[in-house]
Amino acid sequence: MTENSRHLQRFQDFLTKKSLRLTSPRRAILEAVHGHESHYTAEELLSLARSIDDSVSRATVYRTLPILQECDIVREIDVGKDFKYYATNRSEDNFQAQVVCVDCDNIFEIDAPFMDWYAKTAAERLGLEVDSQRIQVNAHCTRLRTGQTCEHKAAKTSESLLHSTISTHN
């Protein structure tokens, strides 16, 4: 069973449970969500969804994203810009930190397994219960800073590093 069909299944179940309907725009948006490799904006999702069903409107994308987040199919990533990024939840995902290159806007994700423990401890000290958590590191391209600005290409070649795991426990 592919991830796509697993997500479709989950989406349908969720919609049914809430007496919502599986419409053609929603289907196109779900497909678009799988068409994106990494992080995308609402606008990018709209473009791709429109290439699948050109009647999809911006409003529907914005109305569907919260549903996809509730289904745990998509997650929102706010890196402090004036718009948000979204990413599709792949099955093997652990909690991850975002490393954002401020020169080229690339977003890398790196496992940060200690975060679950930290968040829980921090919240408990305040008598709270963890809802969600987030780590973000903003960084510059050391090597490329001197030459032309940090390039997206450079970032792409680092993709093998994306699944590195960093833990504070050694």
Partner DNA sequence: GTGCTTGCAAAGACTTTGCAAACTT
Partner DNA sequence: AAGTTTGCAAAGTCTTTGCAAGCAC
Gap between the Cα atoms of 130 and 17, Å rounded: 26
15 lies in the binding site for DNA (CB under 7 A): yes
Minimum gap (Å) between residue 64 Cβ and its own copies: 20
Minimum gap (Å) between residue 27 Cβ and DNA: 9
62 lies in the binding site for its own copies (CB under 8 A): no
Exactly one of 8, 36, 38, 42 binds DNA (CB under 7 A); which one? 42
Gap between the Cα atoms of 51 and 7, Å rounded: 20
Pick 33 or 115: Cβ nearer its own copies:
115
Pick 16 or 167: Cβ nearer DNA:
16
Residue 56 three-state SS: coil
Q: Is the dihedral of CA 69, 72, 73, 77 positive or negative?
A: positive
Phi–psi pair at 52, nearest 5 degrees: -95, -45
Measured between alpha carbons, how far is residue 24 from residues 1, 27, 60 in Å?
A: 22, 5, 11
Q: Is the dihedral of CA 154, 49, 3, 86 positive or negative?
A: positive
- Would you call 110 exposed, middle or buried from its count of C-beta atoms within 10 A (0-12, 13-18, 19+)? middle
**Which partner, its own copies, DNA, none, binds residue 137 by CB below 5 to 8 Å per kind?**
its own copies
Gap between the Cα atoms of 78 and 100, Å rounded: 11
Question: Which span (4-12, 15-23, 67-75, 129-137) binds its own copies, by CB under 8 A?
Answer: 129-137
**Which partner, its own copies, DNA, none, binds residue 75 by CB below 5 to 8 Å per kind?**
none
Give the footprint of DNA on this chain (CB under 7 A): 15, 18-26, 41-43, 55-60, 62-64, 82-84
Binding footprint of its own copies on the chain (CB under 8 A): 78, 80, 97, 99, 101-102, 108, 110, 112, 114-115, 117-119, 121-123, 125-143, 158, 161, 164, 166, 168-169
